[in-house]
């Protein structure tokens, strides 16, 4: 396990990735060019092997007892309408509306005793482990920002942190992650708005752009011999690369994928569900493509799960879609040999009340909820924790959101507990003190 450990000035003792090894090897052999190294990497399949996380947020707080923790022995006002089905792991049963996940349960871990939520309708806690309230006070950065800061980009034309959540009626659900005290530089790239429009040519043909580029390089007075500005030259080069053949734009374009694969994910719908997000299965595929292109963290918000009324009707409508998207993504990750490197987490900001209300809905329930985890080299095919017979509280092994984040950082090769994360004023912060990776998973 490669691990970043704490040393005040951002030196990582034993952090030598395969990528670096290849570069060192290249130097030792008498100086391969960067292109050579990239080609060698592509050949050896190293490109897809960087550690990454895909975080699926279910806005509104999904009903844990109707998905992964069915309480068949509870009275009818608690039990709900759905039946459990067997999975391919003996002893683990989940909701009948998720047959695809059930068939590959050996590739998932369910946490049934997730605690630490607040009654807040924000994505924040699912992005960095701290509630919205806590984050307002400590300005803790989200995981994607921290990973961007500690690791930087894999590929210079693909940002390390991409947020796919679209605009939603309830804006707190559309949060893609906040860099907090790390500063704007570590914001997720959101492939929308001005940036996306800057990445495709605006009213200028490719020919004219290449004319302009020639003119620019022939006229620039500081084009040669100014060391300080070499970084700018590299940026210019990358910008032209992006404008002429955009890797990022390609990664986002799921039509470039084999249609069969896209069908397996189920394309979904890019229309928002009420004030929540869309059930847009294509985004799961885009997330995988982005990771392959070099992203380290991709976040997305899927559907709307705040079922104060018609809980069962809505579950019937949306759970099967989620089942398809999640199962396809995790299967795909395994098929491509990325399961040791890419973690997937699916969860919401809290659980839902055991008692079914008059509108056949369930209300907010921050005391316990569920999380679904896969990949990342974690031990899967297990259930961690349990709740009491009505699904009200953890019965054993309460797991905090922050514990899950400590685990996700661990999967990324970061010992977050003892790695100082520097803010803009170069003050060290220790994120998630007192929270360790979940031993059952590592």
Distance CA 129, CA 125 (A): 5
Among 30, 31, 90, 194, binds other proteins (CB under 8 A): 194
Using CB under 8 A as the binding rule, whether residue 229 contacts other proteins is answered as yes
Residue 102, CA distances (Å) to 80, 89, 109, 332, 343 in order: 19, 8, 11, 16, 19
Among 197, 244, 245, 270, which residue sits at the site for other proteins (rule: CB under 8 A)? 197
CB closer to other proteins, 39 vs 234: 234
Q: Which is nearer to other proteins, 99 or 420 (CB)?
A: 420
Handedness of CA 161, 166, 170, 173 (dihedral sign): negative
Q: How far is the CB of 130 from other proteins (least distance, A)?
A: 14
* Furthest C-alpha separation in the chain: 80
Torsion of CA 208, 214, 219, 220, to 10 degrees: 110
Return the closest-CA partner of residue 412 out of 374, 364, 377: 377
Question: Given the complex with other proteins, which of 113 and 187 has the nearer CB atom?
Answer: 187
What is the rounded CA–CA span in Å between residue 293 and residue 306? 34
Least separation in angstroms between residue 201's CB and other proteins is 6
x/- contact string, 164-183, with other proteins (CB under 8 A)?
-------------------x
Nearer to other proteins, 29 or 219 (CB): 219
Listed in sequence order, the DSSP H helices in 305-442 are 311-335, 401-411
Closer residue to other proteins, CB minimum distance, 90 or 193: 193
227 binds other proteins (CB under 8 A): yes
Block residue for tokens 């924040």: 124
H and E: helices and strands count for the chain? 15, 16
The answer to whether 347 and 127 are in contact (CB under 8 A) is: no
Specify the 3-state DSSP secondary structure of 278.
strand
Residue with tokens 């940036």: 195
Query: Minimum Å distance from CB 293 to other proteins?
Result: 15
Residue 26's H or E segment, with its range, is helix 18-28
Q: Which is nearer to other proteins, 21 or 222 (CB)?
A: 222
203 binds other proteins (CB under 8 A): yes
With a CB cutoff of 8 Å and minimum separation 6, the contacts of 228 are none
Residue from 89, 182, 243, 346 binding other proteins (CB under 8 A): 243
Phi, psi at 392, each rounded to 5°: -95, -40
Nearest residue (CB) to other proteins, 105 versus 438: 438
Please report how close the Cβ of residue 216 comes to other proteins at its closest, in angstroms: 4
Check residue 211 for interaction with other proteins (CB under 8 A): yes
Listed residue (442, 377, 412, 174) closest to 296, CA to CA: 412
Binders of other proteins among 257-316, rule CB under 8 A?
Answer: none
**To the nearest whole angstrom, how small is the minimum distance from the Cβ of residue 249 to other proteins?**
12
Kindly tell me which residue out of 239, 249, 261, 422 binds other proteins, with binding defined by CB under 8 A.
239
Residues near other proteins (CB under 8 A), total: 55
Stretch that binds other proteins, among 66-74, 235-243, 349-357, 405-413 (CB under 8 A): 235-243
Is residue 252 within 8 A of residue 224, CB to CB? The reply is no
Q: Is residue 207 at the binding interface for other proteins, with CB under 8 A as the rule? A: no
Binding segment for other proteins (CB under 8 A), chosen from 68-76, 119-127, 191-199, 343-351, is: 191-199
Nearer to other proteins, 76 or 425 (CB): 425
Quote the strand ranges of 68-107, DSSP E.
84-86, 93-95
Alpha-carbon span 303 to 348, nearest angstrom:
11
Stretch of 91-99, 124-132, 203-211, 323-331 contacting other proteins, by CB under 8 A: 203-211
What count of other Cβ atoms lies within 10 Å of the Cβ of residue 422? 16
The length of the chain, given as a count of residues: 442
Kindly state whether residue 30 participates in binding other proteins, applying the rule CB under 8 A: no
Contact (CB, 8 A) for 264 and 226: no
Determine which residue in the list 216, 250, 359, 379 makes contact with other proteins, applying CB under 8 A. Answer: 216
Query: Which residue number, 87 or 419, has a Cβ lying nearer to other proteins?
Result: 419
Question: Nearer Cβ to other proteins, position 212 or 256?
Answer: 212
Residue 152 engages other proteins in binding (rule: CB under 8 A): no
Residue 6 as a binder of other proteins (CB under 8 A): the answer is: yes
Site for other proteins, residues 417 to 436, rule: CB under 8 A: 417-420, 424-428, 430, 433-434
With beta carbons less than 8 A apart as the criterion, state whether 265 and 328 touch.
yes
Binding stretches for other proteins (CB under 8 A): 6, 8-9, 157, 183-185, 193-195, 197-199, 201-204, 208-209, 211-212, 215-216, 218-223, 225-229, 231-232, 235-236, 238-240, 242-243, 417-420, 424-428, 430, 433-434
């Amino acid at each position: 396990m490669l691990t970043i450990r704490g040393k005040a000035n951002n030196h990582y003792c034993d952090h030598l990735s395969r990528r670096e090894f290849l570069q060192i090897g290249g130097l030792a052999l008498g100086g391969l060019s960067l292109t050579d190294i990239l080609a060698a990497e592509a050949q050896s399949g190293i490109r897809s092997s960087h550690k990454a996380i895909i975080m699926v947020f279910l806005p509104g707080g999904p009903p844990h007892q109707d998905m992964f923790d069915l309480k068949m022995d509870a009275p009818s006002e608690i039990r709900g309408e759905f039946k459990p089905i067997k999975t391919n792991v003996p002893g683990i049963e989940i909701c009948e509306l998720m047959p695809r996940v059930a068939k590959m349960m050996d590739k998932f871990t369910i946490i049934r005793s997730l605690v630490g939520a607040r009654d807040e309708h924000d994505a924040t806690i699912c992005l960095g482990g701290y509630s919205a309230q806590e984050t307002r006070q400590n300005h803790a950065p989200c995981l994607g920002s921290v990973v961007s800061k500690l690791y930087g980009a894999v590929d210079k034309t693909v940002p390390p942190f991409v947020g796919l959540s679209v605009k939603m009626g309830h804006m707190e659900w559309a949060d893609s992650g906040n860099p907090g005290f790390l500063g704007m530089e570590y914001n997720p790239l959101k492939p929308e708005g001005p940036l996306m429009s800057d990445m495709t040519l605006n009213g200028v043909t490719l020919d004219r752009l290449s004319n302009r580029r020639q003119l620019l390089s022939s006229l620039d007075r500081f084009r040669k011999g100014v060391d300080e500005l070499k970084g700018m030259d590299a940026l210019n080069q990358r910008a032209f690369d992006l404008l002429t053949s955009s890797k990022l734009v390609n990664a986002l374009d799921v039509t470039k994928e084999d249609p069969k694969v896209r069908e397996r994910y189920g394309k979904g719908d890019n229309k928002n569900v009420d004030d929540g997000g869309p059930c847009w299965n294509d985004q799961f595929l885009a997330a995988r493509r982005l990771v392959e292109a070099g992203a380290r963290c991709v976040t997305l918000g899927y559907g709307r799960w705040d079922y104060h009324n018609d809980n069962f009707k809505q579950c019937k409508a949306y759970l099967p879609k989620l089942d398809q998207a999640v199962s396809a993504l995790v299967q795909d990750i395994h098929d491509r040999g990325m399961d040791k490197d890419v973690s997937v987490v699916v969860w919401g900001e809290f659980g839902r009340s055991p008692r079914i209300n008059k509108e056949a809905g369930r209300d907010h329930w921050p005391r316990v909820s569920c999380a679904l985890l896969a990949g990342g080299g974690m031990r899967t095919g297990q259930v961690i924790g349990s709740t009491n017979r009505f699904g009200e509280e953890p019965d054993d092994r309460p797991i905090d959101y922050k514990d899950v984040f400590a685990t996700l950082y661990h999967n990324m090769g970061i010992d977050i507990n003892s790695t100082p994360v520097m803010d803009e004023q170069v003050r060290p912060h220790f994120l998630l003190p007192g929270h360790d990776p979940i031993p059952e998973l590592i």
